[in-house]
Amino acid sequence: MVAMARTQRVPDEHRKEIAEALAAGASAAELARQYGYHRATIYRIAREAGINMVDVRTQQATRARRDYDKARRLELLNQGFEAAAAILPEIRKPHQLRDWAIAVATLVDKRRLEDGEATERTEVSSVGARERLAEKLDELAQRRLAREQAGRAAG
């Protein structure tokens, strides 16, 4: 009768795969089930590879919190867009339209930041854009007023 070894050697290929998976954030329990090793073996591989499992778990928790926070911010942005869309039909005055446009532009910028599409801007350029928008809206208001006055004079 041949005595079976109590433990089996983990092949180098498995060690490498497990270490990479742990470094990427996989859980020791998940890897133990996947490879059929005891969880202590997975922790030993992590220790030998210089991976601090406490740090990995902290990173996982931090990543989960960051993902939750991002989802919440996106939800709030979407609510802001819905509110802006609901308000638009009620806007009657140019200054209200200007304020609405600035609010929507801010929402768009925030959304682009969340999506990783941020553009580099300086405070001066955003102030300049706000001033140009105000000028255009004032110009539109003056045209509208002139049309209304012309309509009253003709009628």
pLDDT of residue 118: 65
For residues 132 and 140, the answer to whether their CB atoms sit within 8 Å is: no
Average pLDDT score over the chain: 82
Q: What is the pTM of this model?
A: 0.41
Q: Which is it for the CA torsion 60, 66, 70, 73, positive or negative?
A: positive
- Percent of the chain past pLDDT 90, that is, above it, reads 20
pLDDT of residue 92: 87
Q: At what angle are helices 94-114 and 53-87 packed, to 10 degrees?
A: 160
- Percent of the chain past pLDDT 70, that is, above it, reads 86
pLDDT tens-digit readout, 38-73: 999 999 999 999 988 776 678 788 889 989 988 888
